[in-house]
Chains A and B, each alone.
Chain A
Amino acid sequence: MSQYLVELCTLLIDDLYGELSSQVFSTIARLGRQPLAGLVRHSNLSARHLKHGLVVLIQQHLALHYTSELDGVTYYEANWQHAYNLVRSGKIIKFVEDRFGEKAGGIISNLLLLGHTKVSDLSDAYGVANKKANSGAELKHVNGNGISNGNGLTNGNALTNGDGLANGVDEAHDASKTESHIDSRGQLHSLLYQLLHSGWIVPVREPHFWPQAEHNNEAEVFVISTHFEGKVPKGPKKVAEFARLVKERKRKTRDESLEIPQMNGITGSKRYGSSAVQPSKRIKINGTGFARTNGYSDADHLQDEIQLDLKQGDLVVRVNHEKCNVASRTEQLTRLAARYVGETTSKVYEALLRVLEEQTPRCYDEFADNDQEDPDIVDASPLVTAQAVAEAIDPNIDLTDGLQEDSNHVNRVNGNASAEIEENDQGLSGHSLEDVNKRRRLVDQHIRLLSEDPRHFTHWVSSRGMSQWKVDFPRLAQVLIQTEIEDTVTARHERMGTRLIRILHSKGKLDEKQVSNFSMTPPKTIRSTLTGMQEAGFVETQEVPKDTSRQPSRTMYLWFYDQQRCRQLLLTDTYKAMARILQRIKVERAKVQTVIDKAERTDVVGHEEQYLSKMERQALRDWSQTEEKLLIQLGRQDDLVATLRDFIGPLNS
């Protein structure tokens, strides 16, 4: 865990849960896996303080713990993934709102506030203590939203912002509260059902609190006892087999731990698998809230069943950040398509990716069996038809925009008039069959543009359902990473820097003369750019002696570019920059703290005009603008982190 990541996570925790929690977090992050006694010994915190801090951290899933069966000692470890995710709260709420509506977003914001929660407690929060829980959540919600896009940070909201948990109700919150208000337990359960089945929230079980090392131990012990008769495997073949089985065991354990109880057969990992056509259909039906296909009554029935299950209330759930990464990837890829192909086409792409999201629990599976060389294993990546995209896409999008009339294609496939686009403009009134067909064809043409783009946003699979496609996510994740690196290099070293990086990326190690030839630029022009980038760590050199004399004059220098290294470099820099923004927010807030305090007094709230001077009001406005600007930047940097870190296998370092 890098120093800057610790710094960033500590700042985030400090902001939300106070100084004690953040101190305890930075202690366990610094010390690594330790029992309480070890923590006491190596820090200047008392056992009592540590315990207090750990309780909060564990409730929020920011610390992991495991009690050894041998000696009964409990070990603690920092959960930096979840700590980092605090910065994403606003984004997750927005993603869920976009997909399932405001009320579902409200549930998510409550869950984020409460940490992992029993369903019954959540119901209580809505029913009995509705007001309290909700207003708290709303505050955080507003705060979080600001992190992602600055919404809700304007006007009066900003007055209470920043210290969200502590206080206050003002009009804006009351207003938004009614919108995300949930009327009945039934409604709550049906929303929970949707969120559970789409994977946005997941059940929490004991193993989720274990550190990675424990998962590993458990899996290894299990595999050794079941497959190797209790003996540690030896020899390359057995060791490889062992590694594969351990991975498989970890995958199984994880999938089982995420299974929704009593829903045998259609839950767990299966519901995402390619075989689970039915359940995914059900999810779709409920996800959009429309009864589109005849599977509806079936789904209805299913829903009842789950609601019964939920009513018992024992299930503990939490928000699933892996799913947030999937939505984030959709957003970044849509952006890339908008940049290189066109706005409307990118919207079609977004719709396509969202259909695929339903079948995608996570961006990449660290326990996947990827070294399978078995030719009988078919590529299991999910497929999507133009038909499904046409059904899913917002009907208000003008699909003819950004599209050249493809007379060729229309003629060939349908054999009818090529002037169809104009012609049909007159008849868009209802959902006539013709209209549906036309939209489907237009969607198909947009998808074809996407597949033809050099980045190959989609891949053609077959002609089923107008046309059937898949998306090569791992490759596109690489494209996104490379694009971010190039954008950064362009900002710091001009276009020339990016050009040289692309040359080295495609050609491998080159000496200066070769770089000059490929870039058609004289050596003296590129030299300063290359050295500048070397200092910044984007390119490196390798010395190759021409003979054994090892004299500098007899040495060749080869330039090269290492994408993985740049990815790591940029990620660390971004963590650091994010920490600086959070520190700066503190500083800026401190400057107006007295005014903020005053504005938050109960007698002042709602009577700002009366009690606050003109200067004080101006100071608050300035502060809210400053904070908004800083938070927007923080959100963008988090986008960058998502691209660099979360869409494809972990960095090796």
Chain B
Amino acid sequence: MKKHRYDYLWIFSLVYLILGFFNILFAWIGLLCFFIPLFLSIVTGTKLYCNRYCGRGRLFSLIGGKLGLSRKKDIPPFVRKPWFRYGFLIFFLTMFFLMLWNTWLVFSDARSLKEVVTVLWTFKVPWHWAYRGSIFPDWAVQFAFGFYSIMLTSTVLGLITMIFFKPRSWCVYCPMGTMTQLICRLKSKGGMKRRTDFDRNRI
């Protein structure tokens, strides 16, 4: 199998996580991992991001697969059921809006900036070293802390399921993956019935 340049996108994911330890403002870059997948599936009607460009998926393949940090066992079947995948997506989005709400509170001066990163929605880890003041308003910094919390949380969850199950177990219940698949489902409705055979659109 030929190596492509996008096979190295795991470096991007890794660098992103590391940068957050030094300056929280880099967390804003993570918005790319939110908008690009959605944009690609809306435009192409495929999961092109997952199938080709996702750095996180590649990172799990590398650590769990090549480096062998995975038991490579089957995931409990409930994880791949729609109720769980959609349920986790709703939970994830709720947490996302809660984070936006916190950003709003700081924006409207109802609350002051909290320099913590919340891991697994529970553990508040002091993270003050990653912010020493900037020209940016407090709300933008609060958003960075909130967004980085989400990215770190999903990485930690992904790493845990990587160790216990297959390397890319996270992809089974990843909210971005569920969302892009949902977009593809909606887009292909109607079009599906007319089709008689597959067009082999290779990826």
Pairing of A with B: no
**What residues of chain A have their CB less than 8 Å away from a CB belonging to chain B?**
none
